[in-house]
Each structure stands twice: as structure tokens, then as C-alpha cells.
Amino acid sequence: KYLAKFAQLMRQSLEYSDLEIISLEKEIEFLEDYLFINEKLRFENRLEYEITVDDELEDDILGVPTMIVQPYVENAIEHGLRSRQHGRIRIDFSPIDDLNILCVVEDNGIGREA
């Protein structure tokens, strides 16, 4: 099961690498697969995650730069959660206006001083 998810993640990564824009729906599917792999294999079920999309966003139509959120999620896992016994990540997508969306990635990691 996990190997199949990992293979799917790799296929998505290769497929999307040639694209500049993908739908928000596909971006979220990629994030879910990425987080699932981390939750099950790396964190051994000690990682909780939640992805929310504001109802105003049409996630199957809206185009976003390919894999734009994944590096931020990876950074949250690598630097924020690696020393945590139980990690949590929340990703929220909401509209700013007709042309822009806001994506917030939050974790319960160690944080940084401003």
C-alpha cells in the first residue's frame, strides 16, 4: 500500500515537472500523497495533517504554479517537526481576490524568533 502511494507520488512529480500550472485540486492531491507518505513511513503515524479549501475557491478550475506549496510543507516537516514526538500540519487555501489565493502552512514545530 505504501509503496503504491510512493510510486504514485513519484509519477505525479515527474508528470508535473513539465508543467508550469496545474489545478489546485491536483496540487492538493500531490500534497495529500506527500503528507501520507511522511505520516505513515517517516513519522510512524505520529503526524496529523489537515488541508482545507475555502468554499469560494473552485479547486478543479483554479490554476496554480506546479508544486508551489510542497517545499514549504517539506520545510515545516524538516525544520519544525523533526524533534517533535507528535507533529501537526495544517494547510489552508482561501481567496484574496478574483485573481489571487492565500495559502497558509502552519505546524506545531519549534518555531523561530522574529
Q: Which residues pair with 48 in a beta bridge?
A: 88
Phi and psi angles of residue 10, each rounded to the nearest 5 degrees, phi first: -65, -40
Alpha-carbon distance of 105 to 5, in angstroms, equals: 23
pLDDT in tens, 37-72: 888 777 788 889 999 999 988 766 778 999 999 999
Query: What are the structural domain ranges in the chain?
Result: 2-107
pTM, to two decimals:
0.84
Greater confidence (94 vs 80) lies with: 94
* 113 pLDDT higher than 90: no
Greater confidence (68 vs 5) lies with: 68
Alpha-carbon distance of 88 to 80, in angstroms, equals: 10
How high is the pLDDT of residue 109? 82
